[in-house]
Copies of this chain bind each other. A is one copy, B any other.
Amino acid sequence: MCNDEMAEIVRGHPDRFPAAVACLPMNDIDAALREAERAVKDLKFKGVQIYTSVNGKPLNYPEFLPLYELMAAYDLPIWIHPVRDRQVPDYPVETMSEYGLFLAFAWPFETTLAMGRLVFSGVLEKFPGLRFITHHCGGMLPSFYKRASLIPPGVRTGDVKELARSPVEYFRRFYADTVMGGNTAALMAGYSFFGADHLLFASDYPYPGGAAQSFQALEGVIKSVEEMPISDGEKAGIFYKNARMLLKLP
């Protein structure tokens, strides 16, 4: 239903909305695959969005691999949005997350965990053409990617040892959006890690708190990209050219 409504909005306002991406019922992977196919073929959507976990399961579980295979075959991206609510306590002696820390900080942490699972489990190695777009500029990767290489072999588990390349090379394959609340220094760390061709402007609009706060947040994101000390060509890539290429838009 919501994908149909999105398609209608895009059809009705092509000057405002060049494309849409699909929601998927990830609790039922067969239904998710059918809906992804319908969204791309019938609705002309340019990708799908999933969340950082599915009913508590990490994204590298084998049941989700057919979706990655499908989207790699379409050569269209998968957006990953973080999810965690107040019911997940930050400390074992408590029963919920206090002070809104789950939203402020656990969301980018969830993005980071999802990226880690997709890299270390070999999903990115298995599907070289697959493109994931991460929220909040790739979470903690721009700051902490060096730690991914410094994990002593003794504390690694799983099949990480079978990766053909350094984990960091796979982490760099993610795309990352510019929603950092208007923090140019953080965007520069993202630029340094992912490169200008893997950064994508995003508005995060509308934002909780109403129209005025949403607009202020949007202005802050635009300004933070404009203030990056990089070339105008790279900024044009971040603002629209990278997305145009990724989404195969005219």
Contact = CB atoms under 8 A, between A and B. Distances in A.
A188 B220 CA distance: 20
A94 B191 CA distance: 34
Nearest to A157: B98
Given A90-B113, A116-B105, A217-B150, A100 B156 contact: yes
Interface in A66-91: 86, 88, 90-91
A203 to B, nearest CB: 14
Contact of A181 (B113, B116, B137, B150): B150
Contacts of A99: 116-117, 120-121, 151, 156-158, 160
Contact of A108 (B53, B94, B96, B143): B143
A145 B105 CA distance: 9
Interface in A105-154: 105-109, 112-113, 116-117, 120-121, 136-137, 140, 142-152, 154
Interface string A29-57: 00000000000000000000000010111
A243 interface: no
A31 to B, nearest CB: 20
